[in-house]
Structure 1
């Protein structure tokens, strides 16, 4: 069983891997069968590819956890996104992600972006 503190630390470590561009350091945070509903993929390799693409387009991008909520095996995180110029005074993008934790690792993810979308299209 993953504790509330363990689950919170897990998503914070994931964000630190992104923010420091140490993408391979995140491998151990995800289960082998990790499923991203946002990407429609299994395994974290597609997630790392998406991270690489987004930072190639926005090299100063950082995510900052604003709220982390834990309920059972689910962790919800609302994050602000820094390092992306918002057009004409628009609000900075916000990410809302929900993760399912299995045996201390991220097993499944759902996510949406609010505001200007930093994803690569």
Structure 2
């Protein structure tokens, strides 16, 4: 089994969101995964993605920067397609740090300048 590059794994998470592949969360996140912003695991991620995409069907993210240091990945992304600005307007920035083990995201910390993220 080939273990994905942590950089690819972080980008894969955003790709899954952008393609509305909610089921991919089960492959991307480890079974014991914990999201500090959502205060939950994989099911919390899937619920948050579903709520966001239901409320904002044109929402998408663009990964701008990815930094890898050992088992940590930091990434900056821009969020587009929220109601206030329309499909092509940047709505804010997300900063995320992931911890990776055995080819899956095990822990996530995040912060965002986007004020209208539904949950």
TM range (shorter): 0.7 to 0.9
5+ residue gaps, structure 1: none
- SS across alignment from 1:34: strand
Task: Report the counterpart of residue 16 of structure 1 in structure 2.
Answer: 15
Task: Report the counterpart of residue 64 of structure 1 in structure 2.
Answer: 62
Pair 1:92 & 2:91 matched: yes
Q: Runs of 4 or more off by more than 2 Å in structure 1? A: none
Q: TM-score, normalised by structure 2?
A: 0.87
Contact 1:54 1:118 in 2 (8 A): no
Pair 1:111 & 2:78 matched: no
Contact 1:23 1:48 in 2 (8 A): yes
Contact 2:80 2:90 in 1 (8 A): no
- SS across alignment from 2:58: coil
RMSD of Structure 2 on Structure 1 (CA): 2.2
- What is the CA–CA distance in structure 2 between the aligned matches of 1:17 and 1:26, rounded to whole Å? 8
Q: TM-score, normalised by structure 1?
A: 0.86
5+ residue gaps, structure 2: none
Task: Report the counterpart of residue 77 of structure 1 in structure 2.
Answer: 75
Contact 2:78 2:93 in 1 (8 A): yes
